[in-house]
Amino acid sequence: MNRRSTLAGVCLLTLALTACATPRAQHPSDAGVRGEALFPGGRYWRESRTDPAAMQVHVLELDLRRVRLELTAGDTSGGREHVAQTTSDYARRNGLAAAVNASYFTPFKGGSKGGEDYYPHAGDGADVSGAAIAFGQVVSPVEPDEDERVNAIVCIRAAAVTIRDGQDCGGPVDHAVSAGPRLLADGQARSFEAFGQAYGENRHPRTALGLDDDAPRAWLVVVDGRQAGYSEGASLAELIAIFRALGAEQAINLDGGGSSTLAARRDGEVVVLNSPIHTGVPGRERPSANHIGVRVRP
């Protein structure tokens, strides 16, 4: 599923995606530090590339000693596991520093271009595909046959974040979210042959999470797509290359397409940093079932 922004400039990149940082005020102590410090433990930048296709890559690098990750709490008031809301509304309502969309979800209807005939609208009930835990409570059970793409799980315990195959974290966790397919495991790229050749090669908007085995560091990556001349999206192989260039050894694909959204608090206000493409409209956010939130530690 799954604004167009005025460009400040274009940075030609190699396949390794050499950084083009979002413009910001410089300080002598910032020499060599990448991106814009949005909040303690969170730095954001946008990378632009033109080869082999137009691509806008949004990166939020997180120091897990200074922030913690959490999942959208369950809400059965709409008759399902969650009540749908946009990513920016989720971040705003919960006082978060940042958030991205997370799970695949049902029921879903994409709707006509620019129309209102989609499902779910904000406030409608929705279920996530695969296991999900929020604040120590099971929101969605293990569902191995719900969606073949859901083959891994993000497990969150205090400052420790891991990615495991399957939908079981192997013990108690604070938060967990199943998604997929898994992109990297111990630095090795995963194969997508089982999903068909086109599945891994086609470019789409993407949301994904990567982890650094050597430091308490994570990356939330959103790639804009379906916007000709601005950003075509990324294939799964291109997404793997992005994470390898960042230094990730572990990575997982989350829900993408019109759901792909990165929202963050900038100058006290929650703003959408990427250009989502819900119902074919650049800048329009899609309500989704759950999200990964970023909270600054006290």
Q: pLDDT at residue 89 above 80?
A: yes
Domain ranges of the chain: 34-69+83-123+179-296
**Which pLDDT band, with edges at 50, 70 and 90, does 17 fall under?**
very low
DSSP characters for 97-159? Answer: SEEEE---EES-B--STT-S--BPPTT-EEEESS-EEETTEEEE---TTT-TT--EEEEEETT
Residue whose tokens read 């950084």: 19
Q: How many CA atoms lie within 13 A of 190 on its CB side?
A: 24
Q: pLDDT at residue 30 above 60?
A: no
Q: pLDDT at residue 29 above 70?
A: no
**pTM reported for the whole predicted model:** 0.89
pLDDT of 156-199, one tens digit each?
Answer: 998 799 999 999 999 999 999 999 999 999 999 999 988 887 89
Q: pLDDT at residue 232 above 80?
A: yes
Residue 170: partners with Cβ closer than 8 Å, 6 or more residues away = 155, 164
The per-residue pLDDT for 32 is: 57
Which region among 27-31, 64-68, 280-284 has the lowest average model confidence (pLDDT)? 27-31
Q: pLDDT at residue 41 above 60?
A: yes
**Which pLDDT band, with edges at 50, 70 and 90, does 1 fall under?**
low
